[in-house]
């Protein structure tokens, strides 16, 4: 199983903690140490599972808006996007549990025209105000269909580290990685009002594969 580059520090710490606790449990509990070691092994394995990088065949897209993350669609609504679009847009929000793949992918192809990091709170990721009050990043891409698409990584109550690798002027390719969020969170995508939405609330998405909307050519 291939592991994400963001896993290094976490796995080193988890390995040290596991080794120390396993040693102490064997030393003090003797034959009862398995009661501690087995749950520790499960948690240790989940750390590796969280940072997995699945092999996915990413296609080329122009009008299609691709799911940026693995997760569950929790919101589709018309909103005011005040940071970049400064007007009405359709917001699609996808919530990621700690068991989902947490690679963040471009939802559309085009050119990165804006990026910004915002410090903030750590409300639960499905809270509606987390989109504007939590720690987050905002990226805007001018798509191949000449639309401005905004998407936002949002930290949650558990997620306390967001990374994004893109810079203004970069080429964006739908389905390809631009960042990562550790341990559960949310991504919002803001689309033009005339976009055809092809997903619905409750849908489970596979990042880089599933089409969640189609923009006018």
Distance CA(162)–CA(185), nearest Å, equals: 10
Q: Which residues are catalytic?
A: 185
CA 209 to each of CA 48, 58, 204: distance values in angstroms, whole numbers, following the listed order: 23, 7, 12
Two tokens, residue 38: 């087995």
Closest CA to 193 of 155, 132, 149: 149
Taking only Cα atoms into account, the Rg of the chain, rounded to an integer number of angstroms, comes to 19
Distance CA(114)–CA(3), nearest Å, equals: 29
Placement of tokens 């033009």 in the chain: 192
Whether residue 39 contacts residue 22, with contact meaning beta carbons closer than 8 Å, is answered with no
Distance CA(177)–CA(164), nearest Å, equals: 9
- DSSP helix/strand/coil, 46: helix
Helix axes 34-50 and 8-29, enclosed angle (nearest 10): 170
- DSSP helix/strand/coil, 179: strand
């Amino acid at each position: 199983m291939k592991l994400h580059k963001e896993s290094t520090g976490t796995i080193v710490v988890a390995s040290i903690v596991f080794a120390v606790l396993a040693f102490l449990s064997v030393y003090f509990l003797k034959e009862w140490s398995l009661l501690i070691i087995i749950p520790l092994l499960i948690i240790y394995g989940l750390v590796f599972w969280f940072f997995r990088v699945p092999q996915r065949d990413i296609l080329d897209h122009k009008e299609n808006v691709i799911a940026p993350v693995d997760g569950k669609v929790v919101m589709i609504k018309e909103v005011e996007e005040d940071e970049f679009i400064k007007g009405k847009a359709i917001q699609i929000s996808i919530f990621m549990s700690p068991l989902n793949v947490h690679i963040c992918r471009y939802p559309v192809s085009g050119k990165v025209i804006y990026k910004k990091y915002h410090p903030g709170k750590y409300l639960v990721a499905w809270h509606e105000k987390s989109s504007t009050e939590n720690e987050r990043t905002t990226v805007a891409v001018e798509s191949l269909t000449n639309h401005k698409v905004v998407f936002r990584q949002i930290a949650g109550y558990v997620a306390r580290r967001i990374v994004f690798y893109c810079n203004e002027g970069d080429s964006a390719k739908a389905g390809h990685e631009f960042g990562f969020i550790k341990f559960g969170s949310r991504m919002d995508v803001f689309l033009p009002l005339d976009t055809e939405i092809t997903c619905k609330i409750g849908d489970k998405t596979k990042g880089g594969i599933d089409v969640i909307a189609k923009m006018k050519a």
